[in-house]
Amino acid sequence: MTSATGGSSPAASDGRLGRRSFLNWLLGTWAGGVLVAIGFPIVRYMQPPDVAEPATESASGGAAGTLAPNSFRIVPFGAAPAIVVRLATGELRAFSAVCTHLSCTVQYRSDLSQIWCACHNGHYDLNGRNVSGPPPRPLEPYDVSVRNDQIVITRRG
């Protein structure tokens, strides 16, 4: 029953409010479900796995014959870079190439016969010791061997 002004009775109004509330609740629940369905996989993807990656123990340093004296090569050692240096004497040395200051990748300066970090002018000697600049610690040294002209870098035990 409607009034002369076009309004509805209180009972009809309650029914409309009841339907509106129900539809709002239904829409809210659906939207919440969609957010969880989209958000949960994203959050799970961004979390690191519970099991830590196994540490890399050995990696290839490339062909030994193509690394000239007084030069270097950056190679992957697991997820991090390593630097292989052939000294002017021909001896091979390898270290982690991750600067101990703020983790830039180091390189070899043949003009200084030093390992150098360009980010903040950090210097390491050819034993990996930090000798000047901001690096607080030496580079991690690796063992180096050559098998069938392939350089093999191994983490020290």
How many residues of this chain interact with ligand FES, rule: CB under 6 A? 11
Is residue 126 within 8 A of residue 92, CB to CB? The reply is: no
Binding to ligand FES by CB under 6 A, coded x per residue (else -) over 95-134, reads ----x-xx-x------------x-xx-x----------xx
Within 8 A by CB and 6+ apart from 131, the residues are 114, 123, 124, 125
139 is an interface residue for ligand FES by CB under 6 A: no
Q: How far is the CB of 118 from ligand FES (least distance, A)?
A: 8
Residue pointed to by tokens 């001896």: 91
Query: Dihedral of the CA atoms 109, 112, 117, 120 (nearest 10)?
Result: -140
Q: How far is the CB of 109 from ligand FES (least distance, A)?
A: 13
Applying CB under 6 A, the residues found at the interface with ligand FES are 99, 101-102, 104, 117, 119-120, 122, 133-135
